Chains A and B, each alone.
Chain A
C-alpha cells in the first residue's frame, strides 16, 4: 500500500523567503505524486503532479517539485513566498490501477510580512 508523510504540520516563512515543504512517499511500484493546495474554506486545487516524465515538475503560482527516487521524496519549493501562498498544502500518492489518491496529513504554510 502507498503512503505519504509530510514533515512539519506547520511551516512559517517570511514574505520573499524560500518555501520548502517536505513530502516523502512509500510505494512498492512507481508512484504518481501530486501536490494540492487548499485555501481557507475552499476545496483542493492541483498545484502540480509527477507522472514518470521529467523529475523536476513545474506547477502553478511559481511552485515546483523534484521527484527523487533514491530519497523517496517529492518536496515542494517556491523561490520567493508571497502572502497569497498562505494555505494548507497536501502531498498525495497514487499508483497505476489504484484509482485513488492517498493524502499526507497536510502542512499549513504561514507567510509573515
Chain B
C-alpha cells in the first residue's frame, strides 16, 4: 500500500552511461515532482508535471528528461551520466496542481552513485 514508490532504491553506474529511475504514486494525485538532494542534504526541485504536462523545469541540464506516461507515473531518464549527478533523487506527488499549499508526498528516494 505504498503511496509513492521509486525504483531502484540504489543505482551505481559508470560515467557516460544512461539510466532511468521510475516513480509511481497510488494516491490519485494530479501533480508529480522530481527533486535532487545533494551530499549536503540540500533539496532542490528539478521538474513538476500536472496531468502529464510539464509545469516546472528548473534549469536542469537537458541530459535529464522526465517522462509522464500517465498521471500516476513520472520517470526520470538521465543521459551521459556525470560525477556531479551523484545524489539522492526524490519523487513526490500532490493534489491540486497550481494550489501551492497542498502537502507533497515523497517517495523513499533513489541513491545514484556515478563512478
Q: CB within 8 Å of B: which residues of A?
A: 32, 34, 36, 38, 41-46, 49, 51, 88, 90, 94-103, 105-106, 108
Contacts and interface: CB of A to CB of B under 8 A. Distances in A.
A49 B101 contact: yes
Contacts of A95: 100
Interface of B: 4, 31, 33, 40-45, 48, 50, 55-56, 58, 90, 92, 97-98, 100-101, 103-104, 106-109
Contact of A46 (B40, B56, B97, B103): B103
B101 A44 contact: no
Nearest to A108: B41
B101 A101 contact: no
Nearest to A103: B43
Q: At the interface, is chain A mostly helix, strand, loop or mixed? A: strand
B6 to A, nearest CB: 8
Contacts of B56: 99-100
Contact of B90 (A44, A97, A105): A44
A100 B48 contact: yes
A99 B100 contact: yes
Which residue of B43, B45, B98, B109 has the most chain A CB atoms within 10 A of its CB atom? B43
A86 to B, nearest CB: 14
B3 to A, nearest CB: 10
A97 to B, nearest CB: 6
Contacts of A34: 103
Nearest to B6: A43
A81 to B, nearest CB: 20
A60 B90 CA distance: 22
B100 A94 contact: yes
B99 to A, nearest CB: 8
Contact of B100 (A38, A98, A105): A98
Nearest to A92: B43
Contact of A43 (B4, B31, B97): B4
A96 B103 contact: no
B100 A96 contact: yes
Contact of B43 (A41, A46, A90): A90
A46 B58 CA distance: 23
